[in-house]
Amino acid sequence: IISPCKEHLSMKWLHIELMYLTGFGNEFASEDPRCPGSLPEGQNSPQVCPYGLYAEQLSGSAFTCPRATNKRSWLYRILPSVRHKPFTPINCGNLSENWNEVEPDPNQLRWMPFTVTKASEKKVDFVSGLHTICGAGDSKSRSGIAVHIYTCNTSMINRCFQNSDGDFLIVPQKGEILITTEFGKMMVEPNEICVIQQGMRFSVDVFGETRGYILEVYGAHFELPDLGPIGANGLANPRDFQIPVAWFEERTVASGYTIINKYQGKLFSCQQDFSPFNVVAWHGNYTPYKYNLENFMVINCVAFDHADPSIFTVLTAKSTRPGVAIADFVIFPPRWGVADRTFRPPYYHRNCMSEFMGLIKGHYEAKEEGFQPGGASLHSIMTPHGPDFDCFEKNSTAELKPERVAEGTMAFMFESSFSMAVTKWGLETCQRLDKSYYKCWEPLKSHFNPNWRPSSPIV
Ligand SMILES: [Fe+2]
C-alpha cells in the first residue's frame, strides 16, 4: 500500500520540479543552473569550452537548408558522443521496416486495445516494447513513415535510444512517461504528446503499465500547419509547446551504458562507460518538445455542413508536393456542435490518404461501440469508411440543438499520403484484430424513396 503512494508523490514532485522553455521552433539557450556560464558566449566552438566541456553539434537539417527550415543545436557535454565501443546488431523484436511480410489487405481494420504485459510476467521497457503495426517507404531513401504501438511496464535502466531514421511523435495513452533526453527531462502524460526528433538520445521511465502510439516520419520534421484565412492565431499555438531545460548527470557506469540505435530499420547497440545525459548546456532550434492537447484551439463549423478534419491538425510533416503531407497529426477534441440542417458526425468517405486512428480516452463520435481507448483502426487508401449504423440512424433524426461533442474524449488520426502496409504483428501476432469490424456497417439500409418530391420530407 505504501509503495504506490510513494510513487505518486515522486511523480508529483517531478511535475513541480520540471521546468520548460516555451515556443515552437524558437532559438533556445539553456544551461544547468549547477554550472553558471557553461554556455559559451559569442561563439559556438571555443578553443577551450567553459568547465572543460566538449562542444558537439547535432544537425537536424542539411547545413545549407534555407533559414526557415534550418535546424541544429549545439551541445556542451562532459564527453562527446563519439566515445563509445562499436555498434553491433541486436534483436529487433517486433520493430520492423519490412512492408512485405504479409499480403496487402485493403479492408477496414480495427484493433481492440493492445495488451500490456504485466511486470510480474515479463519486464518490458520502452524499447523492447516497440511494435510496428503499419507503415510504408524506406528509411534509406529518407521517405516514408511507420506507426508503432509501445507497451511497457519497466523503466529503461542504463539504456537509451536514438532513432537515426527519423522523428518520433509519441502519443501516450496509458501511464505517464518521464523522458530523459540530452536536452533535459520531460514528463508526458496521456492527453499530451511529445516529439523526439531524429538522432536525439532519450531514455524512458514508466510508473506502471504503460501504452501509447508512435508516428515515425523518416524524411521531414513536424511543423505547425499554415493557418491561411484563419489568421495569425488558432489551432496549436506556438507558445504552448514546451521544451526541456538543460540537465546533466556525471555518472560513470562501470558495467556499461547501452546506446540503442535504430538505423536503416534495424536495431544496433553499443556500450560506453558513462551516461549520455551529460550535456551541461545547449543552445539551438533543434530540440525535443511536448504539447498538451487541451491547449488546442478548436475551429469548427458554426453554420452548416461538416468541415474536413484538416481543421483539427496539430502538427504536419510536409512532403515536397504543395498541400500534401507525409503525415498529419490530427485530433478530435471536446467542442460544441451547432451546425444547422446538417448530419453532424463525420461523413462517409473514401480517401486518397491513409487514415490510422487511435483513442486516448472516451468515446469516439462516429462509432457507437467497438473503438476503445488503447485500440486503433486503419482505413487504407480508397477504403470506404464512415459512421456505423447506430450513429447514422441516431444522427439522421436527432434534434439539432447546440450540444457538446466528444466530451471527455480524445481521438486522434495519423493521416498519410503513403499507402501503408500492415505488419505481420499487426495482422496476426498481436491477436487484437477485430475480425467483425465490417459488421458495424452491415445493418445500413436503403432509405431511397423514388416517390420523394422536394416538398415532402424524408421519413
Ligand atoms: Fe476519413
From ligand 1's centre to the CA of 82, what distance in Å?
A: 46
Active site residue 283: no
At residue 199's C-alpha, the angle toward residues 195 and 205, to 5°, is: 55
Q: Are 339 and 345 in contact (CB under 8 A)?
A: no
Q: Give the strand order in the sheet containing 313-318.
A: 109-111, 376-379, 354-361, 410-416, 325-332, 313-318
User: How far apart (Å, rounded) are the C-alpha atoms in residues 213 and 390?
Assistant: 28
**Predicted pLDDT of residue 10:** 58
Binding site feature residues for homogentisate: 364, 385
From ligand 1's centre to the CA of 397, what distance in Å?
A: 23
**Predicted pLDDT of residue 2:** 34
143-193 residue pLDDT tens: 999 999 999 999 999 999 999 999 999 999 999 999 999 999 999 999 999
**Predicted pLDDT of residue 455:** 77
User: How far apart (Å, rounded) are the C-alpha atoms in residues 232 and 215?
Assistant: 27
**Predicted pLDDT of residue 393:** 94
Considering the domain boundaries, does residue 175 fall inside one? no
From ligand 1's centre to the CA of 412, what distance in Å?
A: 12
| Choice between 428 and 367, residue whose per-residue pLDDT is larger | 428
Q: What are phi and psi of 236, to 5 degrees?
A: -80, 115
Considering the domain boundaries, does residue 420 fall inside one? yes
Mean pLDDT (the chain) is 94
DSSP-derived 3-state class of residue 63: coil
DSSP-derived 3-state class of residue 425: helix
From ligand 1's centre to the CA of 4, what distance in Å?
A: 41
From ligand 1's centre to the CA of 426, what distance in Å?
A: 20
Q: What percent of the chain has pLDDT over 70?
A: 95
Considering the domain boundaries, does residue 222 fall inside one? no
Considering the domain boundaries, does residue 382 fall inside one? yes
453 to each of 340, 447, 458, how far by Cα in Å?
A: 22, 14, 9
Considering the domain boundaries, does residue 345 fall inside one? yes
103-147 residue pLDDT tens: 999 999 999 999 999 999 999 999 999 999 999 999 999 999 999
197-235 residue pLDDT tens: 999 999 999 999 999 999 999 989 999 999 999 999 999
**C-alpha radius of gyration, the chain, whole number:** 23
Structure confidence at residue 5 as a pLDDT band (50, 70, 90): very low
Considering the domain boundaries, does residue 87 fall inside one? no
Considering the domain boundaries, does residue 240 fall inside one? no
Structure confidence at residue 365 as a pLDDT band (50, 70, 90): confident
Classify each residue of 309-344 as buried b or exposed e, where b means 16 or more C-beta atoms within 10 Å of its C-beta: beebbbbbbbbeeeeebbbbbbbbbeeebbbeeebb
Q: Are 398 and 363 in contact (CB under 8 A)?
A: no
Q: Are 421 and 134 in contact (CB under 8 A)?
A: yes
Place of cell 518520433: 168
In this model, does residue 317 exceed pLDDT 90? yes
- What is the extent of the structural domain holding 342? 296-439
CATH number at residue 367: 2.60.120.10
In this model, does residue 254 exceed pLDDT 70? yes
342-351 residue pLDDT tens: 999 999 999 9
From ligand 1's centre to the CA of 381, what distance in Å?
A: 10
Residue type, 250: E
**Predicted pLDDT of residue 6:** 46
Considering the domain boundaries, does residue 42 fall inside one? no
In this model, does residue 11 exceed pLDDT 80? no
Please report, to the nearest 10 degrees, the dihedral formed by the alpha carbons of residues 374, 375, 380, 386 taken in order. -100
Place of cell 508536393: 321
Binding site feature residues: 349, 355, 364, 385
Structure confidence at residue 340 as a pLDDT band (50, 70, 90): very high
**Predicted pLDDT of residue 3:** 38
From ligand 1's centre to the CA of 310, what distance in Å?
A: 10
Q: What are phi and psi of 244, to 5 degrees?
A: -65, 160
HSE-CB at 72 with a 13 A cutoff on CA atoms is: 15
In this model, does residue 4 exceed pLDDT 90? no
Residue type, 382: M
From ligand 1's centre to the CA of 351, what distance in Å?
A: 6
Beta strand 109-111 pairing with 376-379: antiparallel
From ligand 1's centre to the CA of 20, what distance in Å?
A: 36
Catalytic residue from among 15, 84, 283, 306: 306
The cell numbers describing 357, all together, are 486512428
In this model, does residue 290 exceed pLDDT 50? yes
Please report, to the nearest 10 degrees, the dihedral formed by the alpha carbons of residues 283, 285, 288, 290 taken in order. 110
**Predicted pLDDT of residue 368:** 65
Give how many domains the chain has, as a whole number: 1
Binding site feature residues for Fe cation: 349, 355, 385
